[in-house]
Amino acid sequence: MKGSVFPELVHGRLDGFEQGAWILEPGSVFRGGARCNLGERVLTVPHGDDPVSRVVRAHELAHIRVSPFLREHTPPDADVTDRALECAEEFRINLILARLGFDVALLCDGSERPGGQRLAQAGAWGEIVCFLLAVLGTGAESEFLRGVRSVQPTWVAGLRSLKKKVNAMVGDLDTRTLGDTTLDDEGRPVGYTNVTVPIARLISRSGAAAAPEGPDELRVFRRSLELDSRRAPSGVFAPVLFDESMPYVVRAPSPGHRRARPSTSGSVMRFPSRLLTDPLQRAFARKSAGAGGVIVIDQSGSMDVTVEELENLLSSAPDALIVGYSHRPGDAGVTPNAWILAKSGRVALQARSGNIGNGVDGPVLQWALRQPRHGGPVIWVTDGQVTDSHDHPCHTLSLECAVLVQRHRIRMVRNLSEVAEALRGRKVAKGVFGRVGRELAAIQSFVPDTG
């Protein structure tokens, strides 16, 4: 490797990175065959004296020059996925290389076309968006798009729109600005914060949206690329992320409420003294009816649940598991979107506000159905609206929830005041409400409820 790369000579950073001796490891020109570990100063690069090896080495040297080296320089961003950040940074590096006169067209190892085909076959729109950015402007870009087009020709228009938007974002920036490592007022490197992060934000939301297929969807997708515009529909729920930081207190049992009632049969003899004292010899125990259940509360919009309301609910059902949910639209898995309000005699110490959107209705209902109910029902406090992870109403997702409601006899109520009645098994929501109600009605019109 003699004389092929000089990482120690890369200078000019202004973010406190300390240059030192680098460890060189042999790498290759193939994708993933070269990398740069700034923390431990390990550089893995190809050592050939061919032009491709030289550009690959220059790519890694550019990382040494401009990429963040501390975790605190890249604080978690709820709108950005790690993968999007990684690919946006690749784009910035390749752009800097091109501006410095390196032939980035050589950055292509032949795997891009079949890679594009495989991703398109798997329907991995999100990864296609990310990978496109990682290879944008290099020799790999057109091959990758060819691969995608051969399987999903309708997706390419959206990808081209994204490319155009990203190129417009960086078109007016000079190379020094692109690679500026000065720390801003919040201690983050300027180039990374002003170039990589906004692009990563764009591709996070674009990749999380559903792939635009028809003219209408493409129009919505293109609009979503504009600054401060609404995200395009994703058509999927977000994964549930529980808030583990909620403080709880142990709730004093309600006076007069008995969780276990004497019974003449059972598996464990709870009250042996009753064999002598009770004429009916009710020595076994059974759980009180109506003491349990799972209450799922849609806290989207401005719906808060106060501590008093929780207390009222628990006075009706002390053993109930109460869970609230609301997804922050577009959140990339950073902001919790579900929280336990009461469980096993413990109750949340403070009220918990929602995050504007629904976004996780289906996954939370499925989670609730897996929980022990202590003889009670699953009650869903909802306005009957269901939205995707970008907070767009979605027919498919509404139907998915309606099927859950119908199949598992989930009781839908409009507000907390109706929960007590629902716990007692009384029908409180007359007629249908919301999209889910309409879907439910449609299902019931085709599939008679035989229960």
Of the candidate spans 58-66, 131-139, 345-353, 429-437, the one that interacts with other proteins by CB under 8 A turns out to be: 58-66
DSSP 71-87: GGGS---TT--HHHHHH
Output the smallest distance, CB 81 to other proteins, in A: 28
242 forms beta bridges with: 338
Among 36, 56, 96, 129, binds other proteins (CB under 8 A): 96
Of the candidate spans 94-102, 257-265, 319-327, 441-449, the one that interacts with other proteins by CB under 8 A turns out to be: 94-102
Per-residue CA distances from 8 to 18, 22, 100 (Å):
10, 7, 19
| 5 vs 317 by CB, closer to other proteins | 5
Output the smallest distance, CB 38 to other proteins, in A: 13
Which residue do the tokens 């692109």 mark? Answer: 178
Helix (H) / strand (E) element for 397: namely helix 395-408
DSSP 155-172: GHHHHHHHHHHHHHHHTT
| 137 vs 212 by CB, closer to other proteins | 137
Restricting to residues 293-312, which ones interact with other proteins according to CB under 8 A?
none
Which residue do the tokens 């159905």 mark? Answer: 369
Told to check if 422 binds other proteins by CB under 8 A, we report: no
| 9 vs 268 by CB, closer to other proteins | 9
Burial class (CB in 10 A: 0-12, 13-18, 19+), 225: buried
Output the smallest distance, CB 310 to other proteins, in A: 54
Residues in the chain: 451
Question: Which x/- pattern over 131-170 shows residues binding other proteins (rule: CB under 8 A)?
Answer: ----------------------------------------
| 61 vs 148 by CB, closer to other proteins | 61
Structure tokens at 428: 């409180």
Q: How many angstroms separate the CA atoms of 289 and 46, rounded? A: 71
Restricting to residues 167-186, which ones interact with other proteins according to CB under 8 A?
175-176, 179
State whether residue 95 is helix, strand or coil.
Answer: helix
Q: Which residues contact 223 (CB under 8 A, 6 or more apart)?
A: 229, 230, 232
Output the smallest distance, CB 177 to other proteins, in A: 10
Told to check if 14 binds other proteins by CB under 8 A, we report: yes
Told to check if 54 binds other proteins by CB under 8 A, we report: yes
Q: How many angstroms separate the CA atoms of 94 and 140, rounded? A: 12
- For residue 34, the 8-state DSSP code is -
Answer left, alpha or beta for residue 335, where phi above 0 means left and psi between -120 and 50 means alpha. beta
Helix (H) / strand (E) element for 263: namely strand 260-263
Among 10, 104, 135, 199, binds other proteins (CB under 8 A): 10
Among 31, 65, 390, 435, binds other proteins (CB under 8 A): 65
Output the smallest distance, CB 54 to other proteins, in A: 7
| 101 vs 451 by CB, closer to other proteins | 101
| 47 vs 257 by CB, closer to other proteins | 47
Residues binding other proteins (CB under 8 A): 1-14, 16-22, 24, 49, 54, 57-58, 61-62, 64-66, 96, 100-101, 175-176, 179
